Chain A
Amino acid sequence: MAKKKLSYTLEEQLVSALAREFTPEDEIGVTAIFTFSFVAATLAQELYAPKLAVCMMAKGRWGLLNKVRYPFEVGKPPGQFIEALMTMDDIFDFLVRGKWNIFMQPAQIDKYGNMNISTIGDWHKPKAALVGARGVPDNTTNGGRVYYNVANHTNRVFVEKVDFVCGAGYGPERKQGVIKWGAPKKVFTNLGVFDFEKKTGRMRVASVHTGVTQQQVVENTGFELIWPKRVPETPPPSEEELHLLREIMDPAGVRRLDFVKGDDFNRVMKEIQTGTTYEMVYGK
């Protein structure tokens, strides 16, 4: 029987690819709230990681969530999704115990997977002071699996050398075994999926998304990537994944929010908050 050809969007392909990173052994996942990566972690709970709890702000603390259905207000997941509440102190306990799998968003990332969210330009007198190192140095030395997401893959983000290393990539300390945990595993962008070559620690193309050309990837990356002989296309989402995403978990389309800006963002937010899909999920 011929396989039915599915139509799907970029964010659905990304959500599927991210969700498949989770395994039956995984116990905690954490992502920025209301991004495609959070939707992916929820999808993973259904299909690939039955033990997984997803961390999100809840009830003035942090919730460990399961069976999440969108949408709901940021920081206010309905009670039936919350398995347990924890404090910020508990979060660091999980992190240093190595149970924490995290998706983070770099402002800059280089060919060895070093990442930066601290400052652009000279740290002592920065052109732009960003949020600061945050927990990135903690995650890249203590964490379980570390992933990076880039919604807009450009050569301003993918740079030859980051201006400030917040997250340890595959530098000498990693090679020498000084740093044992928290190595960045993959980078997910709007153009493709990237991993790191074992021998050199350099970033490598794992796959490019449907409809994306190799030239697009090259033009938007500020350093030389390692290309495999044959470049795979990122696998399409399965029919089951699309059904769960569209009909059950995220009918309002929270997964779109990373990829829209300005007026489009406001339109999607409004759709999410007031659309018929919202009523479909929660009634009137």
Chain B
Amino acid sequence: MVDKRMTPQEVVAQIRNGDTIVIGGWGIDRKPMVLLREIAKSKLKDLTIMSFAGIDIDLLIGAGKVKKFIFPFISLEGAPGVPGNYRRARANAAIEVMEISEYMFVCGLRAAAERLPFYPVRSGLGTDVLKVNPGIVTFKAPYTGEKLVAVPALKADVALLHVSAADPSGYAQILGDPLFDAVMARGAEKVFICAEKIVPQSELRRDYDRIAIYKMYTTGVVEAPYGAHPGFCYPHYEWDARHLTEYSQAAADAEAFKNYLAKYVFNAPDQAAYLKLVGKA
């Protein structure tokens, strides 16, 4: 067996400036926060981020890492409103944005995973999504002649995911909604999986049905308890409403967010130190 265990630092060392990164999860559900904080700490820049977004993209924008953002929505769910780093970046037109619908996003991922140039959808017709994305074209369907939208493949250099458990070879188990993590993994060049725990293969295969990502797609696995904090990872923990509120308040102001980064990102050399800071140790 090839042992794919690595540290967050080793993951970040495999990411290049200008890479396109797809982030697993949805909103604040199963976001690989340990890896994202490591990116925030690094010298990486000019990243393109694709995500069903929540705190993930807001943190990376706040840390100055994002050149372009491809997304259908951004929501913190547990805390009120849309997070501040994103709002400021939009108000100042400081990042490039590709806004598409949820199903267009899903189908763009599918196209990438299937090595197709595009996926046909009806979504987007009659809306301004097509107006602000002149690169997304419509076409006349063969056989019926109806007008459809060709969603371009959303290819990624790197996929960053968070799951319940993984084994050292790279099989990964998701106990909540598997969401679109597997299709993200299939469409990315490198796939790094953060897991609440890393267990021997003999333990993982007691529940074959919950294996959501196969080792053939996995580049590396990282163990990180509470790795999705302050979001949630079912059934291990719920979202930390207090920390999300603290995050929201900090993100609302550029200066306050610098302090947030200093306190929770730069001041925490590893996940154990972070968990002490947020009261989860």
Residues of A within 8 A of B (CB): 59-62, 87-89, 92, 95-96, 118-119, 123-138, 140-142, 164-169, 171, 173-174, 178-181
Name the A residues within 8 Å of B146 (CB-CB): 178
Q: Determine how close the nearest CB of chain A comes to the CB of B26; give it in whole angstroms.
A: 7
The chain B residue sitting closest to A166, CB to CB, is B127
Asked if B126 contacts A141 (CB within 8 A), the reply is yes
Asked if A140 contacts B126 (CB within 8 A), the reply is yes
Asked if B180 contacts A89 (CB within 8 A), the reply is yes
Asked if B234 contacts A168 (CB within 8 A), the reply is no
Contact flag A141-B177 (CB < 8 Å), given A126-B90, A128-B87: no
Complex formed: what's the CA distance from A102 to B129 in Å?
A: 20
Q: Determine how close the nearest CB of chain B comes to the CB of A114; give it in whole angstroms.
A: 8
Complex formed: what's the CA distance from A213 to B132 in Å?
A: 40
Scan B63-97; emit 1 where CB is below 8 A from any A CB, else 0.
Answer: 00000000111110000001000110011110000
Asked if B128 contacts A123 (CB within 8 A), the reply is yes
Number of A-B contacts (CB under 8 A): 127
Complex formed: what's the CA distance from A140 to B127 in Å?
A: 9
Asked if B179 contacts A137 (CB within 8 A), the reply is no
Name the A residues within 8 Å of B122 (CB-CB): 96, 141-142, 179-181
The chain A residue sitting closest to B102, CB to CB, is A135
State which size class the interface on B falls in: 35 or more
Q: Determine how close the nearest CB of chain A comes to the CB of B251; give it in whole angstroms.
A: 13
Residues of B within 8 A of A (CB): 26, 53, 71-75, 82, 86-87, 90-93, 99-104, 106, 122-129, 131-132, 146-147, 175-180, 234-235
Asked if A88 contacts B26 (CB within 8 A), the reply is yes
Complex formed: what's the CA distance from A92 to B92 in Å?
A: 34
The chain A residue sitting closest to B101, CB to CB, is A137
Name the B residues within 8 Å of A166 (CB-CB): 127-129
The chain B residue sitting closest to A127, CB to CB, is B91
Complex formed: what's the CA distance from A164 to B129 in Å?
A: 8
Asked if B103 contacts A133 (CB within 8 A), the reply is no
Name the A residues within 8 Å of B128 (CB-CB): 118, 123, 164-166
Contact flag A133-B87 (CB < 8 Å), given A123-B128, A174-B126: no
Complex formed: what's the CA distance from A101 to B15 in Å?
A: 42
The chain A residue sitting closest to B76, CB to CB, is A131
Q: Determine how close the nearest CB of chain B comes to the CB of A56; give it in whole angstroms.
A: 13
Name the A residues within 8 Å of B26 (CB-CB): 88
The chain A residue sitting closest to B146, CB to CB, is A178
Q: Which of A61, A138, A180 contacts B102 (CB 8 A)?
A: A138
Complex formed: what's the CA distance from A165 to B99 in Å?
A: 12
The chain A residue sitting closest to B83, CB to CB, is A129
Q: Which of B86, B128, B132, B180 has the most CB of A within 10 A?
A: B128
Q: Determine how close the nearest CB of chain A comes to the CB of B281; give it in whole angstroms.
A: 25
Asked if A61 contacts B127 (CB within 8 A), the reply is no
Name the A residues within 8 Å of B180 (CB-CB): 88-89
Asked if A132 contacts B176 (CB within 8 A), the reply is no
Asked if B179 contacts A179 (CB within 8 A), the reply is no
Name the B residues within 8 Å of A138 (CB-CB): 101-104, 123
Asked if B86 contacts A142 (CB within 8 A), the reply is no
Asked if A171 contacts B126 (CB within 8 A), the reply is yes
20 CB < 8 A contacts A-B: A60-B175, A62-B177, A87-B179, A89-B180, A92-B102, A92-B106, A118-B99, A125-B92, A127-B91, A132-B99, A134-B102, A135-B103, A136-B101, A136-B127, A138-B104, A141-B122, A142-B122, A142-B123, A168-B127, A174-B126
Name the B residues within 8 Å of A87 (CB-CB): 177-179
What 8 A-B pairs come out closest when comparing CB atoms?
A: A60-B234, A168-B126, A60-B176, A132-B73, A129-B90, A137-B101, A173-B126, A138-B103
Complex formed: what's the CA distance from A136 to B106 in Å?
A: 14
Name the A residues within 8 Å of B175 (CB-CB): 60
Given A60-B235, A88-B180, A165-B127, 15 more pairs with CB closer than 8 A: A88-B26, A89-B178, A124-B93, A126-B91, A127-B91, A133-B99, A133-B127, A134-B102, A136-B101, A137-B124, A138-B101, A138-B103, A138-B104, A165-B128, A174-B126
Q: Determine how close the nearest CB of chain A comes to the CB of B107; give it in whole angstroms.
A: 9
Asked if A119 contacts B147 (CB within 8 A), the reply is no
Complex formed: what's the CA distance from A211 to B261 in Å?
A: 53
